[in-house]
Structure 1
Amino acid sequence: MAGEGWPRVGFPLLLRLGLGQKIIDAVMIGDIGQAIAATAEEAAIAAAAGVPPLAHHRLHLAAQRGRREEFRELAQKAENAPPSAGQVTNLHATTATLNNGLADYPAALAAARRATEHDDIFLTGSALPELIEAAVACDDHAAATEALASLTERTQASGTTTGRGVAAYARGLVTGIEHHFQEAIELLAEGRLIPHLGRAHLLYGQWLRRERRRRDCRRHLHTVHELLSKAGNEGFARRAAMELRATGEKVRSRSEQHHEKLTMQEVAVARLVASGATSNEVASRLFISKRTVDAHLRNIFRKLGLTSRRQLKDDPDLLVHDRFE
């Protein structure tokens, strides 16, 4: 059996934890292909070690992509595992993100409340903007105001540009003051975190539409639709499309991206080959046979309309930021 004799802790676990962090980072900079490929790689290492794949990053990825059924399956498995306070908080925080993306605000508010119960330093902070957005949508001004005070305290202490930007759009939601949305976009545009920048444009666009400023709102909604569609944040991208249609605007159907045409393991194979890996190197890294790699490549070529490895290397959708070693 592949991986037989490996310890259940140590190097394989550290590698998987590193891949988990890589997945979160990739999602937050809008490289959905890298996030999916790294998820497949972590699952391959876990299978070789004879342990279940990690749940945290998979929940985060499914929530950001707006994949309700996939998220439910993962959440059920997470709930059946031995619980810890951090895992429970993560489950509720990602549930809140998923439901805000799907515009199911009561469910998002309930999940965000549970995510903030344990006051985890990191996960509670990430859940507070979700709580504020859901509370405002549910007309629970008291909950939104209380959460904003907590978020403001945390972001002022951290002093990061991203934290200040997120707090600014949350403040705009609570106060209805336009300057806060503008400040959020200005701050978040300085960084690389596409989902946060997209959310700022989305919330400002929604506010502008409710102020009957259609021309202004369309500009921001088109921006967020393009940003988040490309980044794989499908739920929030659909929200932008709904807002655009509410203004009477037609939303152009976008072309299907590679990560939507390929399976998770095919994405991993395609990106490794695009980075210069041979079939043997891919097989070793993903703990599969060379024959399986070649079968995946045939499917990849067919689905993408390609005929050679060179075309994979030249495909901008498969651009990798870390070359295969």
Structure 2
Amino acid sequence: MRTIVTATGFQITNYGALALAAWQGRQAEVDRLVRATTSEAVSRGEGVGLTVSDWASAVLCNGLGRYEDARAAAERVVSDPPAPGVAVHWGPAEMVEAAVRSGDGESASRALERLVRTTQANPTDWALGTEARSRALLSQGRDAESLYREAIERLGRTLCRADLGRAHLVYGEWLRRERRRIDAREQLRTAHDLFVAAGMEAFAERAARELRATGETARKRSAESSGDDLTPREAQIARLASEGLTNPEIGSRLFVSPRTVEYHLHKVFAKTGVTSRGALATFLYGGGRKLESK
């Protein structure tokens, strides 16, 4: 980017760095980049820069659990006229979550309406999964649970690990509030593992707080972990298999097919050298694995 700026004399705003810092929960860096982006955007009359800054602030604050601040930032995004870029389209999703958590159901509903205009115009699994997650936040009972599961199923078919993690997180939060602590732990563990793997520290800590509220402590990665360690999904499936669940039962719990479970178990066996389900418990809980399973 510096080479381009030097060669052309045209200043390029580093929106990517701002988005990355927001997803990773780096407050000081986001503050610095927002100031720089806002200054550059104002000097060039580039309104999209302000929109991106507000969207990044909303993502950051939702991760940190500062929902009133997230709502205020997202409100500015959804109040702006349509502008190019992803931020203006996904700003409503941040608004739904922040407004619901702030007790502002009316604003959340308006944001959902705006989000639907985007998702229905481009009905990919990513778009519809994000819509389902947002609808779930505004729903109750069986309707909410069905939507959370739809969100996880759709986002699980994409490469959008951050959004998948957030779907598991809000589902786990909902389950905990429904007093279904055991079910909540499974979702929150998955969310935490996805966030840690992605370097999303603020969201990971939010998931860890929720886990602690269920009476469980989130596992920590060992500094000695190698590339041969199990992935979060492999560890999750290995743990369930070690508890005696069948492939169809694991698939039903994780919203994946039995064939997908079999694929991951094959990789678990190859990585660990374990040759049977019965030996998995010894490996996972007996010190054979470098990363603790729970």
The reply on whether 1:147 has 2:114 as its aligned counterpart is no
Q: Which residue of 2 aligns with 1:225?
A: 192
Q: Which residue of 2 aligns with 1:248?
A: 215
CA deviations on 1:265-318 (whole Å, 9 max, x unpaired) are xxxxxxxxxxxxxxxxxxxxxxxxxxxxxxxxxxxxxxxxxxxxxxxxxxxxxx
Which range moved further: 151-160 or 236-245? 151-160
Residue 175 of structure 1 aligns to a residue whose secondary structure is coil
Task: Give distance in 2, aligned partners of 1:86 and 1:63.
Answer: 17
Summarize the alignment of residues 262-301 of structure 1 with structure 2, pairs less than 5 Å apart: none
The question of whether the paired residues in 1 share the 8 Å contact of 2:168 and 2:191 is answered with yes
Summarize the alignment of residues 176-195 of structure 1 with structure 2, pairs less than 5 Å apart: 176=140, 177-195=144-162
Task: Report how far residue 251 of structure 1 moved.
Answer: 1.8
Which range moved further: 150-159 or 224-233? 150-159
Task: Report how far residue 133 of structure 1 moved.
Answer: 0.2
Task: Give distance in 1, aligned partners of 2:34 and 2:94.
Answer: 18
Task: Give distance in 1, aligned partners of 2:25 and 2:55.
Answer: 14
Q: Name the % identity.
A: 40
Q: Which residue of 1 aligns with 2:101?
A: 137
The reply on whether 1:172 has 2:139 as its aligned counterpart is no
Name stretches of at least 5 consecutive residues in structure 2 with no aligned partner: 226-294
Q: Which residue of 1 aligns with 2:33?
A: 74
Task: Report how far residue 104 of structure 1 moved.
Answer: 0.5
Q: Which residue of 1 aligns with 2:83?
A: 120
The reply on whether 1:88 has 2:55 as its aligned counterpart is no
The question of whether the paired residues in 2 share the 8 Å contact of 1:47 and 1:53 is answered with no
Sort the Cα spacing of 1:252 and 1:175 in 2 relative to 1 into closer, same or farther, 3 A.
same
Q: Output the amino acid matched with 2:176.
A: R
Summarize the alignment of residues 153-164 of structure 1 with structure 2, pairs less than 5 Å apart: 153-164=117-128
Residue 116 of structure 1 aligns to a residue whose secondary structure is helix
Task: Report how far residue 123 of structure 1 moved.
Answer: 2.4
Residue 250 of structure 1 aligns to a residue whose secondary structure is coil
The question of whether the paired residues in 2 share the 8 Å contact of 1:63 and 1:98 is answered with yes
Name stretches of at least 5 consecutive residues in structure 1 with no aligned partner: 1-41, 259-325
Q: Output the amino acid matched with 2:51.
A: T
Task: Give distance in 2, aligned partners of 1:256 and 1:114.
Answer: 41
Task: Report how far residue 44 of structure 1 moved.
Answer: 6.3
Q: Which residue of 2 aligns with 1:60?
A: 19
The question of whether the paired residues in 1 share the 8 Å contact of 2:125 and 2:154 is answered with yes
Task: Give distance in 1, aligned partners of 2:208 and 2:11.
Answer: 37
Q: Output the amino acid matched with 1:188.
A: L
Q: Which residue of 1 aligns with 2:183?
A: 216
* Match among 233, 238, 243 for residue 205 of structure 2: 238
CA deviations on 1:167-195 (whole Å, 9 max, x unpaired) are 00100001132100000000001111100
The question of whether the paired residues in 2 share the 8 Å contact of 1:168 and 1:184 is answered with yes
Report the count of equivalent residues: 217
Residue 248 of structure 1 aligns to a residue whose secondary structure is coil
Which range moved further: 117-126 or 64-73? 117-126
Q: Output the amino acid matched with 1:91.
A: S
Q: Which residue of 2 aligns with 1:295?
A: none
Task: Give distance in 1, aligned partners of 2:57 and 2:224.
Answer: 25
Q: CA RMSD in A?
A: 2.0
CA deviations on 1:141-167 (whole Å, 9 max, x unpaired) are 100111111212221121111100000
TM-score, normalised to structure 1, is 0.63
Task: Report how far residue 256 of structure 1 moved.
Answer: 5.2
Task: Report how far residue 89 of structure 1 moved.
Answer: 0.7
Sort the Cα spacing of 1:53 and 1:221 in 2 relative to 1 into closer, same or farther, 3 A.
same
